[in-house]
Structure 1
Amino acid sequence: MSSHGQEKNNREKGQVGILTLMVASAAVGGTVQYGYNLAIMNAPTVYIQNFINETFQERWETQLEMYEITLIWTFIVSIFSLGGLTGALVAGPMSIHFGRKKTLLLNNIFLMSSALLAVTSRQARSFEMIIISRFLVGINAGVSMNVQPMYFGESAPKHLRGAVALSSAVFTSFGVVMGQVVGLRELLGCESCWPYLLASNAVPGFIQLLTLPWFPESPRYLLIDCGDKEACLKALRQLRGCEVQKSELDEMMQEQAEAEGKRAQHPWELFTDRSIRWQLISITVLSSAMQMCGNDSIYFYATYIFQEAGISAEHTQYVTIGTGTCEFTACILCNLLIERQGRRQLLMGGYALMTCWAIVFTLALSFQNATPWMPYLSMVCVFTYILSFGMGPAGVTVIVPTEIFNQTARPAAYMIASSLMWLNLFIIGMVFPFLVNGLGQFCFVPFGAICLLASLYIGVFLPETKGKTLPTITNEFNKLNFHKQERREQKYNQAHYHLGEILHSTAL
């Protein structure tokens, strides 16, 4: 191998090594929390419901009806989504004011407060502490789901940007698996340990607090938001493990020049900015479809399907771990493919496959009792639906705002996208039981329709962003944002701008 080739190979190894450590440090206390805190609530359901009833009896000598206990339990579970929505709304201002890395560190305040309330709730005889705990950990997850992909996307080199940003989804699904394992009856999923199960989310938070301070802030934030070129270069050298590539720095400098004199935009300002109209429509469609596609609902349906297939109730918890492992494996595979296949193909293909499996799942549910093997087809549909989701929508959706919005609009775009995700998660959680009761075996027909519409939108309107700079992606969106005459004027102005930049650099 030539010396140039050897040098390039060493540089790429250095990039991957340091980035991997940074990604693991940020994600272990970041998006891991979203998946983990979704999963750990399944095991202690009966124990917490009994605790609620006992608390009422001790305080007011009142025996609650079953529907009242279920209502309080549903509120405990659902308030996680409302906390996530709150976190999504505060994440933008926090990431602008404190920076990406410091926001992730400060976010652990919500997590530790939540863990403290959860672990002391039984001793204090207060189910209200569990409600507050779930709300606080929801805020933590909402901030992480916003800021972590932004931090990753702004820190990674262009050729690794998709894979690094997509790792947020990998760690989310890893959190689901970890929560399912820790929630086993043999570990913390027993009656005596449920407060410790709810508080166990503090462990990943401690790991992040100990490791993340050793890594730098987002280079783009340092250069464009803070105007600190030296700090940006230092961060880039630390993340790349070598001297900074001139082309990478030039791209950042160009974005800084375009953002000069501009402040970070507020979410409501994006709705009136015609130059990003189709970018905003795209993240609205993708963020809504990600939660409205029914993937989370199929987890709720999984236990029923497994029992119909003849799996005993005591063994269902082990099979359920397979669903989380399935999504985790799919996200890893998606991470390996994203820089080869591109974002658009994985998104469109994922939703198209989910449409097909929703149809097969509906048929399997309709003929559940017709033949002995039909429940096994339903089991296959559960796993393939989750696999299809993990192969595209689960991961690619969260990196799109990083690639199609500039530095001034990116935090606001993430606030809108995450708010829609959390709001739709709450709506689906509340509506799904009624869909099951009203539509029966046809309850996945609406989800299949949403997947089909999402796939069509991506195929027609969403441009590929793999390996492209922000100006190139913006020009492709401008074909939709502006009419032909306006595009000609814009190209003319851009040509003059670039000419001015060339003359300025030549003069220097």
Structure 2
Amino acid sequence: METLNTSIPKRKKKELTFGLLIAAVIPSIGSLQLGYIYWVVLNPETVSHINSNITEETERMDIRIEEPLSGRVAFNAMIFPLGGIIGSLMLGTLVDGCGRRRSLMLNNAAAAVACGLMGASNAGKFYDFGIFARFLVGISSGLFSTMIPLYVGELAPVSMRGAFTMMSILFFTMGLLLAQAISSPNILGNKKRLPVMLGFTGIVAFFNIPLLLLCPESPRYLFIQMKNEAKARKALRMLRNKVDMENEIEELRKEEKYEIQEKDMTILSLLKSHSLRRQVITVAILLGGQQFSGIIGGFFYAEKIYRSLLSKESHIFYMNLSVTCWLLFIASITMSVIDSVGRRFLLLLGFLICSVACVLLTLTLELQSMQPWMIYLSSVLVIAMLTGYIFGPAIITYVVTLEIFLQSSRATAFTLGGIVNWVTRCFAVGIFLKLEPLTGPYSLLILWPLCMVTFIYISAMVPETRGMTFLEIRKSMDLQAKEDKERIDKNADS
């Protein structure tokens, strides 16, 4: 029986060119928008300002609200991830029909309009229309969250593919930092200037559209899906700064032949495919496990812990900035080592840190009433949980999704992963917010077994993919699946 060769092929490291850097940084500005939007839309202070304005306006107009305010708050919070689910559903059709770069331009245009409407609706006190604007922002965010790692990952050479895909989380964290910095009451974090803060990122999206014209279309998309070798060569020449691209073109030819049966792959056909079953299960577990890592509870209790530790709002403001700066540093470290230590190690490390921190945080929060000093340990554990999330679950789950599928089925796989991610996010948030008032800190443990299932699955089933081409990864997984089937058949016969 043929044995699986798990050694990493040795390749000469490709040079980082200016064209490649530009083509990775400009699309990643969308991730900066995504991080900013996350903070502005889901930040409790911003939500309280919006709800305060709703209450004042309805009282001034003598409008009777039949629905309890808490119900409005919950609906206001859930409309954003619902939009994310719709955005994820649109991804495959959009990027395969319009191309990767043009889809990014369209989504930036949609984000500019949505953020403008969100700011204008709050300025004009059209709060019900603002809910619709948040839904549109959710659609745009759902597309950004999957579209950017898909596009950048296809542009990058093998030796730097992990680092370039990691740019998404780096810029996402920058967006969080930007939002936190300007959310100070002395800048834009007050009711008077709230419309400006809500609509600010729309300006960034608007100016990002012409910048994307400087980026090439994905050469893999042009060659394999559009059958346009001339344009693929031109794009590769811009990215690699070389005239002779025969080695990479030959690699694309081999991949095109190998995936001939995966053309026009839909979500339904992807789910039915026997040859891709292991990849589909991996995507579902990784992207679902991302939300079951305990990060929802970590963000929820972080604010409470900071307020217990610090008495002044200004101190809490600087605490948030400090923690985000730390996470930005961790994202930079992860980006610099992912192509040397590998994806699998970082995934296991991240989920392990999140899992241990989740259990210990439950314990320290429960003992806080008897031992007040436990609050300091709780703050350390919250930061540890956020650190573990950046190490693995935050973006490396998308890196693996990118690498275990070939070109024609990749966008569909990202669509499926995005749907799983946003649906499980809604589920995790809903479960946590429903049970936290009843169970207190023990609500952190409700989804903890699923986090451990994800950790065990990664250790047993997820292959290491660093330093390998997409085709080499597929052949390796197909060979492993064949060996597993032969082993099962042999055990059944005996």
Task: Determine if the TM-score, normalized by the shorter chain, exceeds 0.5.
Answer: yes
Comparing 425-434 with 232-241, greater Cα deviation is found at: 425-434
Deviation at 1:61, TM superposition (A): 3.3
Distance between the aligned counterparts of 2:443 and 2:323, measured in 1?
Answer: 20
Deviation at 1:23, TM superposition (A): 1.6
The letter of the residue matching 1:23 is A
Task: State the number of aligned residues.
Answer: 474
Q: How does 1:277-316 map to 2 (within 5 A)?
A: 277-316=277-316
Deviation at 1:484, TM superposition (A): 6.3
SS at match of 1:289: helix
Deviation at 1:480, TM superposition (A): 5.5
Q: Give yes or no for the alignment of 1:26 onto 2:14.
A: no
Distance between the aligned counterparts of 2:102 and 2:214, measured in 1?
Answer: 12
Paired residue for 1:449?
449
Deviation at 1:211, TM superposition (A): 1.0
Comparing 397-406 with 320-329, greater Cα deviation is found at: 320-329
Q: Give yes or no for the alignment of 1:92 onto 2:95.
A: no
Write the deviation string for residues 189-235 of structure 1: whole angstroms up to 9, x where unpaired.
11110011110111221231131111110000000111111100100
Q: Is the 8 A contact 2:87 2:142 kept in 1?
A: yes
Deviation at 1:261, TM superposition (A): 7.5
Q: How does 1:14-163 map to 2 (within 5 A)?
A: 14=17, 17-28=18-29, 30-41=30-41, 42=43, 43-62=45-64, 64=65, 68-163=68-163
Q: Is the 8 A contact 1:331 1:394 kept in 2?
A: no
Comparing 395-404 with 275-284, greater Cα deviation is found at: 395-404
The letter of the residue matching 1:124 is G
Q: Is the 8 A contact 1:275 1:482 kept in 2?
A: no
Paired residue for 1:329?
329
Distance between the aligned counterparts of 1:271 and 1:181, measured in 2?
Answer: 44
Paired residue for 2:4?
none
Q: Is the 8 A contact 1:47 1:191 kept in 2?
A: yes
Root-mean-square deviation (CA), in Å? Answer: 2.1
Write the deviation string for residues 438-468 of structure 1: whole angstroms up to 9, x where unpaired.
3212222234333322111101001101011
Paired residue for 1:236?
236
Paired residue for 1:193?
193
Paired residue for 1:4?
none
Paired residue for 1:506?
none
Q: Is the 8 A contact 2:285 2:454 kept in 1?
A: yes
Write the deviation string for residues 137-186 of structure 1: whole angstroms up to 9, x where unpaired.
11111111222111111111111111111211211222222221121212
Deviation at 1:367, TM superposition (A): 1.1
Write the deviation string for residues 330-363 of structure 1: whole angstroms up to 9, x where unpaired.
2211111100110011001111121111122122
**Unaligned 5+ residue runs, structure 1?**
1-7, 488-508
Q: Give yes or no for the alignment of 1:417 onto 2:417.
A: yes
Distance between the aligned counterparts of 1:257 and 1:174, measured in 2?
Answer: 41
Change in 2 beyond 3 A, CA 1:326/1:452: farther
Deviation at 1:300, TM superposition (A): 1.8
Q: Is the 8 A contact 1:52 1:69 kept in 2?
A: no
Q: Is the 8 A contact 1:343 1:396 kept in 2?
A: yes
Deviation at 1:248, TM superposition (A): 2.1
Q: Identity of paired residues, percent?
A: 28
Q: Is the 8 A contact 1:291 1:424 kept in 2?
A: yes
**Unaligned 5+ residue runs, structure 2?**
1-11, 488-494
Q: Give yes or no for the alignment of 1:389 onto 2:392.
A: no
Deviation at 1:314, TM superposition (A): 4.3
Distance between the aligned counterparts of 1:484 and 1:84, measured in 2?
Answer: 37
Write the deviation string for residues 39-91 of structure 1: whole angstroms up to 9, x where unpaired.
013232222112211332344533x58x8223212222221101111111111
Deviation at 1:401, TM superposition (A): 1.7
Q: Is the 8 A contact 1:39 1:179 kept in 2?
A: yes
Q: Is the 8 A contact 2:294 2:354 kept in 1?
A: no
The letter of the residue matching 2:26 is S
Paired residue for 2:9?
none
Paired residue for 1:469?
469
Comparing 115-124 with 154-163, greater Cα deviation is found at: 115-124
Paired residue for 1:347?
347
TM-score by length of 1: 0.88
Change in 2 beyond 3 A, CA 1:161/1:137: same
